[in-house]
Amino acid sequence: MPKGGWQEFSSAESLQRPKGPAAAPTPKADQMVRVQPTRGGKGGKTVTVIRGLELEPDGFKALLKKLKSRIGSGGTTKDGVIELQGDQVDLSLTLLMQEGYRPKRAGG
């Protein structure tokens, strides 16, 4: 150790994350999934927002594809949130229940 003081990050080993058991994914039925219609920042158009899904990016794409094809509407994923065009709350709740989630309606 060089003279002159204490250094917490003095070696490459201290910069590594601790290696522990990987966290198991949360079961679908235990996830806090919320479905909400909103207009904020969408130019006055209603958008259905689905939050609380704990999925990999590929899982989001697969679920979005199922929702869009069954509902017959467009949509996208942004930062772990699924957005569907239009007020699709009731259909989304039904389809998410069929997929094994326990979603709840949020907001108005």
> What span, in angstroms and rounded, lies between the C-alpha atoms of 64 and 55?
11
Q: What separation in angstroms does the CA of 35 have from each of 31, 43, 96?
A: 13, 20, 10
> What span, in angstroms and rounded, lies between the C-alpha atoms of 16 and 48?
41
Is 44 inside a domain boundary? yes
The whole domain housing 62 covers 28-105
Each residue's pLDDT tens digit, 31-59: 888 999 998 777 888 999 999 888 888 88
- Is pLDDT larger for residue 92 or for residue 5? 92
Q: Read off the CATH number of the domain in which 58 is found.
A: 3.30.780.10
Is 8 inside a domain boundary? no
| Cβ atoms within 10 Å, residue 35 | 25
Is 2 inside a domain boundary? no
Indicate the pairing of strand 47-51 with strand 75-78.
Answer: unpaired
pTM: 0.74
Would you place residue 5 in the very low, low, confident or very high pLDDT band (cuts 50, 70, 90)? low
pLDDT for 39 equals 85
Is 5 inside a domain boundary? no
Is 17 inside a domain boundary? no
Is 45 inside a domain boundary? yes
For the segment 97-105, the average pLDDT, to the nearest whole number, is 90
Is 22 inside a domain boundary? no
Q: How many domains does the chain have?
A: 1
